[in-house]
């Protein structure tokens, strides 16, 4: 019988230490142990992107990411984006540009968008489409999602000017 191991990582800015089975995925731990249900279980094979979260700033498919790989790292989920009870500009942009329909893909899309905009604040449409290539959406046809991310880039630029 496999025994539990201790894993320690930072989740949305707070350090956690948990007892886990090493074959568990990061997604399972987020949802079942930490009650963070923003990342969605979709295909379970790392193909649809609904479970996307950031690990040390890089978007990963948490459904196939072994929990022990997260040890000592920083994990950011969609729950960690909003600050002071206000929406993050990317979340605001998805609302304003109708980037959300059923919403199942939205947390993963938003996290992929965040990883992009953190490293490329003014991406081209091609760069946006490339960044969300691993995130499937069955509802929007992607046009509103691309527009949402373009709008988010503008909102984030405005926010930087106000600092």
Tell me the per-residue interface mask from 86 to 125 with ligand FES, x by CB under 6 A, - otherwise: --------------xxxxxx--------------------
Q: What CA–CA distances, in Å, run from 35 to 26, 27, 53, 104, 111?
A: 12, 11, 15, 17, 18
For 108, phi then psi, to 5°, come to: -70, -40
From residue 132, alpha-carbon distances to 30, 107, 114 in Å are 22, 12, 11
Report 132-151 residues binding ligand FES (CB under 6 A): 137-140
Residues in the interface with ligand FES (CB under 6 A) total 10
| Shortest Cβ 69–ligand FES spacing (Å) | 27
Q: Contact between 75 and ligand FES (CB under 6 A)?
A: no
Give residues in contact with ligand FES (CB under 6 A). Answer: 100-105, 137-140
């Amino acid at each position: 019988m496999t025994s539990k191991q201790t894993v320690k990582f930072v989740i949305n800015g707070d350090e956690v230490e948990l007892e886990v089975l090493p074959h568990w995925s990061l997604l399972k731990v987020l949802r079942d142990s930490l009650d963070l249900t923003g990342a969605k279980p979709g295909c379970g094979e790392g193909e649809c992107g609904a479970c996307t979260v950031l690990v040390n700033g890089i978007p990963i498919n948490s459904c196939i990411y072994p929990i022990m790989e997260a040890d000592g790292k920083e994990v950011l989920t969609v729950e960690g984006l909003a600050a002071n009870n206000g929406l993050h500009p990317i979340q605001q942009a998805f609302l304003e540009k109708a980037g959300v329909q059923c919403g199942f893909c939205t947390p993963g899309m938003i996290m992929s968008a965040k990883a992009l905009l953190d490293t490329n604040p003014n991406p081209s449409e091609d760069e946006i489409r490339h960044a969300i290539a691993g995130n499937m959406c069955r509802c929007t046809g992607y046009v509103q999602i691309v527009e949402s991310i373009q709008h988010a880039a503008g909102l984030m630029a405005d926010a930087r000017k106000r600092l």
